[in-house]
Structure 1
Amino acid sequence: MPPTPTPRHKPLERVFAYRVFDLRDRFPQPLETFRQALECLQSDNAYLPDMSGEIVAYHLGGRALPIPEHFFIRHTDNSLAVIPSSENDQACEAVDTWLTDVLSRETDDSVIASTLRPSRLNILLDQCDPNAPEPDDIQAWQHMGEVGREIIDAPSREDIWEAAVQVMGEVQARRWMKTAHPQLEGKSPNLCIEEYPAGVYELVLQMSSGAS
């Protein structure tokens, strides 16, 4: 008898969790649905969700998919606000449609593998060449004296936000935090703060000195 084919997941079934980010990272727990994530941003516990709120869907293949903010942040002239709960049904339906479209186009395993988020040590080690020389800019950074806020061992999300606002202003800092950056492997600073806060903080310091 021919082997029984392995059942394929429906697109939305490949999303196993959602995560909410705000400025003070008050929602570290994984959530089952986008609605639950949205309700976190709408709650009184969220800190400046209109400025720093982000919702990420995690894919069975290892990918982290940031949900476009226009689904849950309302732009009105120069103001920003999380949508009211009365619009949650509409927002959830729109996000499900968007995720279905994105994931249905990722049927090739090679595509999914190429977008793996390097969130575990073994994945990072597999991608590293231990004999490769350190780039000049990294060597220069390591030999630079400790000055100002560079002495922070583990900058928090709030430290990074305050530094970015000081360098760029609130509006530009908010846009920068949610924009993919080549020095963060094409991920946004918001998405990398949890795992690589020092690297994100370093980018802010580079901008303050005109290095990037």
Structure 2
Amino acid sequence: MPSAQSSKDNLLERVFAYRAFDLRDRFPQPLETFRQALECLQSDDAYLPDMSGEIVAYLRDGRALHIPEHFFIRHSGNSSAVISPKENDQVCEAVYAWLLDKLSQDSNDSLDASTVRPARLNILLDQCDPNAPEPDDIQAWQQMRDVGREIIDSPSREDIWEEAVQLMGEAKARRWMKAAHSQLDGKTPNLSIEEDLARVYELVSQMRTGTR
């Protein structure tokens, strides 16, 4: 008869990778553990992780689970901060307990992994092999230079964030970036930025002009 520990291990094996997201997507690599993803957000490389930080667990069946931010971001009034490394052991234990609960119940909280940044799941799968070369189209995209009016007119993630902060203040802007929106097909601005950055910027602009 399998032990309780082996049953837990089998459930957690359904997670094949984790990813950490900050405002500038500085951590594109898939990670083996939640702790590694957390340490990315705690690193000096992270950009505004307290405002836009997310950690996603990707499942082998093509789904994904967003780890609730309350595990790794602390809020106090209008301020927020990523937890300190000295809390990592406790937080990792709590997150794995949460994952076990979700996986054992076959939770409806999971999403189609192809709708979570990055949009193409096959890229993530390829990157799980550290020796796998990047796809040709990704290499071409990375080497592409901006041309013409794209340099002037294309909004950036920072443009969207700054516009939202001016309209709502930092605390409300952070919540807005992580809340599902009907005009974004039920997705959050954080997720929609990857697929259609201009559409998210347009939505923020409409809020400013009151034309929503």
TM beyond 0.5: yes
Alignment of 1:60 onto 2:60: yes
Residues 19-47 of structure 1: per-residue CA shift (max 9 Å, x gap): 11112221122211110010011111111
Alignment of 1:19 onto 2:19: yes
Residue 163 of structure 1: CA displacement? 1.8
1:95-114 matches, within 5 Å, as 95-106=95-106
The residue number in structure 1 matching 2:72 is: 72
The residue number in structure 2 matching 1:45 is: 45
CA distance in 1, matches of 2:110, 2:85: 36
Q: TM-score, normalised by structure 1?
A: 0.70
- Asked if the contact 1:50/1:81 (under 8 Å) is kept, the reply is yes
The residue number in structure 2 matching 1:135 is: none
**3-state SS of paired residue (2:30):** coil
Alignment of 1:196 onto 2:193: no
Q: TM-score, normalised by structure 2?
A: 0.70
Residue 113 of structure 1: CA displacement? 9.6
Q: Choose 1 or 2 for highest CA Rg.
A: 1
Give the paired residue count. 171
1:50-199 matches, within 5 Å, as 50-106=50-106, 115=112, 117-118=114-115, 119-120=119-120, 152-153=153-154, 155-199=155-199
- Asked if the contact 2:65/2:109 (under 8 Å) is kept, the reply is no
Residues 123-170 of structure 1: per-residue CA shift (max 9 Å, x gap): xxxxxxxxxxxxxxxxxxxxxxxxxxxx733x3221211121122221
Q: Aligned in 2, Cα 1:67/1:29: closer, same or farther, shift over 3 Å? A: same
- After superposition, the CA RMSD in angstroms is 2.6
CA distance in 1, matches of 2:183, 2:95: 28
The residue number in structure 1 matching 2:133 is: none
Matched residue type, 1:49: P
The residue number in structure 1 matching 2:143 is: none
**3-state SS of paired residue (1:193):** helix
The residue number in structure 2 matching 1:205 is: 205
Residue 72 of structure 1: CA displacement? 0.3
Task: Name structure 1 gaps, 5 residues minimum.
Answer: 1-8, 122-150
Matched residue type, 2:153: I
The residue number in structure 2 matching 1:143 is: none
Task: Name structure 2 gaps, 5 residues minimum.
Answer: 1-8, 122-151
Matched residue type, 2:172: Q
- Asked if the contact 1:61/1:113 (under 8 Å) is kept, the reply is no
- Asked if the contact 2:63/2:111 (under 8 Å) is kept, the reply is no
**3-state SS of paired residue (2:195):** coil
Residues 68-95 of structure 1: per-residue CA shift (max 9 Å, x gap): 1110011234321111111101111111
